[in-house]
Chain A
Amino acid sequence: MFEYAVVGSGPAGISAALQLNGPETCLIDVGDISEARFSPSSLKEALVGSHAKEVLGDHWEMLDNLINPTNCHPKLRAQAMRYICRGEPFKVFGRAGLLLAKGCGSFAKGGMANVWGGQLLRYNENDLGRMRDWPISIDELNPFYSELERHIGISGINDDMGDYLGGGVNLLPPTPLCGTASKLLQKFNKKKKNGHVRGLSLGHARLAVLTKPYRGREAYSFTETEFFRVGQEGIYSPAQTLNDLKKENKIKHFDRHKLLSYEELEDRVILNLLSVDDNCHVRVEAKKLLLGCGTIQSTKLILENKGMNGRELPFIDHPPTLLPIFFPMYFGTRLPMSSYPIQLIGSHYKVNCNDMISFYYTGGMLWSDMVPDIPMPLHYGFQALKVLIGGMLVAQIWEDAPANPNNKISLKSNGEMEISYPCYDVANSAKLLATSIRSLGGLTSMRLASLPIPSWGFHHAGTLPMRENPSLFETHVDGRLWDSKRVYIIDGSVLPSLPAKNCSLTIMANSARIAVLLKKKSKKVCS
């Protein structure tokens, strides 16, 4: 019998496994890996050579937007990326019950982190204070933020966003900027007063992307292939930590196993696993079960365990507002052909608007993806992009996402999860950004703002929120289900609300916090 069984090899599962590593811990995951190869070493090589089928996919995966425009995140379309979203299916309904999308969770080794942008940001006291419903303090998360940052290797710089981003110790050099982002930052630094220009603060992004070798891992080569290939050396994935733990025999890994159900007894939890390769059932026993399968998948397991088909739980998504911004002075700039999508981070926090703005360079995408959205003949769209793209960034704007009683998730009788998300809107601070960016030479219009459908970005939370005194379908501060002694939730399900900042590092830190509490409790019991 194991002391701890951790389910899921994404950010939450691996963060807990790192704390609990040892012979008494097992990690269970389906662990899908990509079967498709993307052999070109860079996007440029892919486009000049005879790699059309590798880029477009053996089954034309990149062209699933050909017949109908797709809601699929551009990072999930390529052939080699498709395996990431083959987990539990779910449907998303919007206003008036309209079906917006069908999606799946992830059974991939490393989880959805295989396609993350790598922005790992700390919350601070202000973030948790604003939300008012977090039952833990930032002091409880800070030590784990530092430990994880040291483990992962974060690139960035202590600049005007330092207050906002926190941490900033032992940062690796920042990732290279494209011409426009670099000039935008220079202009910001020249014009700023009190760390902002018309309310907008700007700085280098903090990314889990290595700009120099770190702890035995090579630096990233910035080949613009992030939309086509996973497992790239230099971009952190929890799968790397899992491989290290296995190599050092620090964990028992039930690879290619899916948790079907569990039964909690007085002194243990019995896990019913399915070996996905040979359909055999495997029984594992552990004193404690930690579920880190991702919000939707963990929630499904709990609802199934409780026999609660139809029961609605709160659901928080974090869809960003997308706003293209043009910098006419930088039109006609030569394209770098070596860049990273996330360029800069910004916020209006100095004027009490607590948004988070990531500025993206679109160089790593196929232009054919963008041209149909330009209202002109297709070939002229290409010609326009030739001149515009060098002077264009896309802002992704996030705002605080408190729980909304109208946004819910439930388990249907056919075993599928359904999300009803009628309440979402374009970020209010998009208008503020449109004004503030003008002082830095940027032009945009709210008419260009778009809001992807809920669930598009996979920042999910709030289904089993942690509380001081949890009631039905809530969790204790130590991650335990409301009515359980042995079952813990360690992923985004337990976050009661989402401040504007990216939640990935906080999910990992909270998972580590829960794991350490568990370990202390176990030691106390033993002694």
Chain B
Amino acid sequence: MMKKSTWESERQDLMQEARVLFSSFFAGAPSKKILELYVNAHLEIEGLGKPSIQESITIYKILKYDLKPLEIEPWLRRKGRRHLLTQKLMLMMYICECGGYAPQIRSANVGFFYSVLYLLLLGIKVVCSLLRGKWQVMRYKLV
């Protein structure tokens, strides 16, 4: 009984985590399928969900203080073994890409000038996002 409720509580935590990570990529709520896939991956992928204490604390803080995982992640990204946050965001990315959210299935001809403008604006957004992310990393001492 105890074990069942522990797993159920863990499952609920993972689903909540999935909702937060999904909403950092897309507007709206994730489908039941996406939530299930996210939770099942944590059961089935060896090594996922077995982080260091520091990494667990980072995830906890992101959820507790409603921080922006996508802004923080580039500062925690590393060569070699990936940070837990990178792992979870990548997992959500893969699930969404294969679950109907792949941008490549909706491509259109937008032309050179629109592309350049788009990339310039994207560049500004990237810089702002990185600055905000750095601030969050420093403010909440995320590692």
Contacts and interface: CB of A to CB of B under 8 A. Distances in A.
Interface of A: 44, 46-53, 55-56, 59-60, 62-63, 66-69, 328-335, 337, 363, 366-368, 371-372, 375-380, 382-391
Contacts of A334: 107-109
Closest A-B pairs by Cβ, 9 of them: A332-B115, A331-B115, A52-B98, A332-B110, A47-B102, A335-B107, A334-B109, A67-B47, A55-B98
Nearest to A376: B126
Interface in B58-105: 70-71, 73-74, 77, 79-82, 86-87, 89-91, 93-95, 97-100, 102-105
Find the residue from A66, A363, A371, A384 having the highest chain B CB count within 10 A.
A66
A377 B107 contact: no
A493 to B, nearest CB: 35
Contact of A377 (B47, B97, B133): B133
B125 A368 contact: no
14 contacts: A47-B97, A50-B33, A53-B37, A66-B87, A67-B45, A328-B115, A329-B112, A332-B114, A337-B105, A368-B90, A377-B74, A383-B122, A385-B103, A390-B107
B116 interface: yes
A377 B130 contact: yes
Contacts of B114: 332
Given A50-B33, A377-B74, A66 B82 contact: yes
Nearest to B113: A332
Contacts of A50: 33, 99
Nearest to B97: A368
A356 B47 CA distance: 40
Contacts of B105: 44, 47-48, 337
B111 interface: yes
Given A331-B116, A377-B73, A66 B90 contact: yes
B70 A67 contact: no
Given A66-B91, A68-B82, A368-B90, 4 more contacts: A46-B98, A52-B95, A69-B82, A328-B112
Contact of A367 (B33, B47, B97): B97
A478 to B, nearest CB: 49
Find the residue from B24, B41, B104, B110 having the highest chain A CB count within 10 A.
B104
Majority SS at the chain A contact face: helix
Given A363-B104, A367-B102, A382-B103, A66 B97 contact: no
B25 interface: yes
Contacts of B102: 47-48, 367
A63 B45 CA distance: 8
B95 A56 contact: yes
B98 A387 contact: no
A293 to B, nearest CB: 31
A334 B108 CA distance: 5
A63 B38 CA distance: 12
Range class of the B interface residue count = 35 or more
Contacts of B70: 377-379
A63 to B, nearest CB: 6
B135 to A, nearest CB: 14
A66 B119 contact: no
Given A66-B87, A334-B108, A379 B24 contact: yes
Find the residue from B77, B87, B90 having the highest chain A CB count within 10 A.
B90
Given A60-B41, A376-B74, A66 B125 contact: no
A475 to B, nearest CB: 42
B7 interface: no
Contacts of B119: 331, 384, 387-388
Contact of B94 (A332, A337, A366, A385): A366
A358 B95 CA distance: 31
Contacts of B126: 376-377, 380
Contacts of A376: 74, 126, 129-130
A332 B71 contact: no
A387 B33 CA distance: 29
A284 B99 CA distance: 51
Given A332-B114, A382-B103, A52 B41 contact: no
B140 interface: no
Contacts of A380: 122, 125-126, 129
A337 B130 CA distance: 33
A47 B104 contact: yes
A67 B81 contact: yes
Contacts of B29: none
Contacts of B133: 377
Contacts of A48: 100, 102, 105
Contact of A372 (B44, B45, B90): B90
Nearest to A389: B104
A69 B82 CA distance: 8
Given A60-B41, A328-B116, A368-B93, A384 B122 contact: yes
B143 interface: no
Contacts of A384: 119, 122
B91 to A, nearest CB: 6
B109 A333 contact: yes
Contacts of A329: 112
Contact of A69 (B74, B79, B97, B122): B79
B57 interface: no
B128 to A, nearest CB: 10
Contacts of A387: 110, 115, 118-119
A434 B93 CA distance: 32
Contacts of A66: 45, 48, 82, 87, 90-91
Contact of A52 (B33, B74, B108): B33
A371 B93 contact: yes
